[in-house]
Amino acid sequence: MTRFFQVQRYTAILLVVFMALHMIVVHYPPGHIDFGRVIERLENPVWKAIDIAFLLTVLVHGLSGAWVVLVDIGKVNPFRKVLAVLIAIVGVAAFIYGTMTIIAFQLPT
């Protein structure tokens, strides 16, 4: 529990940075988003790394948050271990899939 809380708080701090970055870089100014626009940035491996870290952070934060929300409910609380495993599986799957996506952004050769 201590760790979940810790993780939530630290990831929250990281998210402040990532989120700001993400909003500015990806969505500002608003406009049509297509492969081309994304690739401009993701050509740079540093951006790739940043996005992967962002993905990890947001997943950890969001999913541990979801776990907390569920476990807060008295009736669900006894199943918190099972839930943690389930959510971790979701998290890992989403992370792998998301990472593949990020890597997939390459100039077609």
Partner 1 sequence: MFKTTGFISFVLRRFTGVVLVLYLLTHIWVLGAANQGVEAFNRRMELFQSPVTITLEVLLLAAVVYHGFDGIRLLIVHYFNVTDQRKSLFYAAFATAALLTIVGGVPMLLFAFGIG
Partner 2 sequence: MTAQEQTIQARVHIQRYNPDVDRKPYLQTFDVPVPQGMTILDALAYIKAEIDGSVTFRRSCRHAICGSCAVNVNGKNMLACNTPLRTVLTKKNEVTIRPLSFQPIIKDLVVDRSAFWEQYLKVKPWLIPPENSGPKEYRVTPEEVKALNRAETCIMCGACYASCQVVAMNRQYIGPHALLKAFLRVLDPRDSAPAERLELVSGTDGVFRCHTIFNCIDACPKNLNPTEAIETLRKLTQRRLAFEKEREERQKTL
The footprint of partner 1 (CB under 8 A) covers: 9, 12-13, 15-16, 19, 23, 27-35, 38, 55, 58-59, 62-63, 65-66, 69, 90, 94, 97-98, 100-101, 104-105, 108
Q: Residue 23: which of ligand HEM, partner 1, partner 2, none does it interact with, CB under 5 to 8 A by kind?
A: partner 1
The count of other CB atoms within 10 Å of the CB of residue 15 is 18
Block residue for tokens 């406009």:
31
Angle CA(41)–CA(53)–CA(3) in degrees, nearest 5? 160
Contact between 90 and 63 (Cβ < 8 Å): yes
- C-alpha dihedral sign at 54, 24, 39, 90: positive
Contacts with ligand HEM in 43-82 (CB under 6 A)? 58, 61-62, 65-66, 68-69
Return the number of the residue (29 or 75) whose C-beta is nearest partner 1: 29
Return the number of the residue (19 or 88) whose C-beta is nearest ligand HEM: 19
Structure tokens at 16: 């402040």
* Residue ranges that bind partner 2, judged by CB under 8 A: 1-2, 4-6, 71-74, 77, 80
